[in-house]
Structure 1
Amino acid sequence: MKPHRVVVLALDGVIAMELGFPSRFLAHRSLLQGWPEAPEGHPPYDVRLVTVGNRPVRTSAGFDAAPTHSVEELRTADTVIVCGFNDHPVLLTGELPADLRTTLDLVPPDARWVSICTGAFVLAAYGLLDGRRATTHWMHAAEFRAFFPQVDLDPDVLFVDHGDVLTSAGNAAGIDVLLHLVRNDLGPHLANQVARGCVVAPVRSGGQAQFIQRPVPDRLNGGLTPVRDWAATHLADEITLDAVARRAAMSVRTFTRRFREETGQTFGQWLTAARIERAKELLETTDLGVESVAQRCGFGTSAAFRAQFRAGTGLAPAAYRSTFSRAA
């Protein structure tokens, strides 16, 4: 059984950390030791690094990375991995430079594609994500949507798997998608062995939502800023749409329209987001119990708090605190 050929495509500005992930996780010695189907000494994956034009590329860390093989290796690739990058034309324009498009054309039609972080911009610009759900680093979600409206972007998840095309979120989510590949290709036992050897979680709970900072949308000098400021300081209270409309001296209908114009959200959406942000702050910086956090943030019951917090972050409050707590 011949090794599965993985060709990693590094572009100028490649994220240095991500560049090492494929070799680290797909060529780990745990796989070499635990793959009985392979001839002795042959790992299940053959990982090769290529670049456009076979040129060294400058990494995000400032050093150059040289390809290990010719770009022609793409012609025989079983899986192609596009690592994330900074300051590349496709990230700035949403369009592929001619030499990059020509390079991608070398890949056989039955190859599997994987992107890490902003590598999804390349897959989308090449047309591989049209009409499909995909993800990328949450910080680039706005540009991605503007460039590729034909793609169903989900910026909250760690990765999306369509079988032939996989996209993953920022940086460390590359680890998640690579372990997912091992799990699907070779089984959970080997994936767990690799994870233990690299001292990472075999499967992470939650998604990007737990990391995204979601400041409550506002506009400088917006007409309803005083109302939002008041609500933000009274999150523990019961706040109704009628009450805030009266405070703004507007009808509910006018207030609802004006609020959406200023924030892009309904008042209910804004209020829930503000309460979740406050809850995250309390979970990170205090040892208050879930019931107390729920009351201080206006969720009413701990059950309602848990449900809405999980919906907003992808994690239960206790799991969020264990991950992000800064309390002494």
Structure 2
Amino acid sequence: MPNDPAASDDARAHVDRLLALLDLEELGSAEVTISSAPDPESRLGDFTTTVFLGQSHKTPHGRIFGGQVLAQCVIAAGRTVTPAPDEPARPIHSLHGYFMRPGDDRMPIRFSVEQMMDGRSFSTRRVHAIQYGRPILSMSASFQVPATGGLDHQDDMPEVPAPESLTPLTEAFAGRPDDPRSSYVAQRAVDLRHVEGHVSYARPDVERTAHQHVWMRAIASLPDDPLLHAAVLTYASDYGMLEPSIRRHGLAFDDRRLRVASLDHAMWFHRPVRMDEWVLFDLVSPSAQGGRSLGQAGVYSADGRRVATVIQEGMTRVKDA
């Protein structure tokens, strides 16, 4: 069952703040023509661009959380996908995003959505998240009419302890009141529970493994909107993708030599998901090289359905002390 919204007033407030961030303001639309220079008569195509405005959470370092921008891009793109009168809604089935510049959490973000294609089965969108006139993230997304039949299989969900038996990440930070991240973590709308423990946040992992499992769930109930649940899953997916690489090399996020940043992010949405119910991230880092680490995750609902796959590459540099 989804979270009880009355379970905690604080939890409800944190989730409502996330929902407010995802409730973008539509500023308007315009027709755009692409031409091949230098001949302005050589038109490559016409499409509509719609602009939305969004705000940001404050963070300890002043840079916008990447998962927030990705989730807002999902909402912006999805709001421009309008099915025919007798057609069901087209849920998102994939996204590919590149982080270009750090975002400033003091400034609003403009989301420019290019409606690239609407076919009989698929709709394609391109979104640019813009601050100070420059893109901080560029994302392409595809939406598909629900289909039945065809091939259907999935990897089995790994056997791990239930989330109720694990310690929330908020408790791991509760004993560190001087850590500037403590209050930030306490206000998160998503509960994270690491099966292998939260050691990569404070001290190196004893076992140098590039594999970990993390349960995640919104801490209060969410509206019954599939696009919103996909956006919250996207939001949460940016939390732990680089952690397996950090564990593998015996490092911790508190290590002052470590420089970490998301570079690109891709997701495939396989089956419907509710993010006010537990989902398991089965995370692994198959490679790290050249100051970059690759993370990938299979995402499972608590009843064992493979709901998504996530792949992210990030900068993981270790500077001299």
Normalising by the smaller structure, the TM-score range is: under 0.3
Q: Which has the higher contact order (CA 8 A, sep 6+)?
A: 2
Higher helix share: 1
Instruction: Return the structure number with greater strand share.
Output: 2
Instruction: Give the alignment's TM-score, normalised by structure 1.
Output: 0.27
Instruction: Kindly name which structure, 1 or 2, has the bigger radius of gyration based on alpha carbons.
Output: 1
The TM-score normalised by the length of structure 2 is 0.28
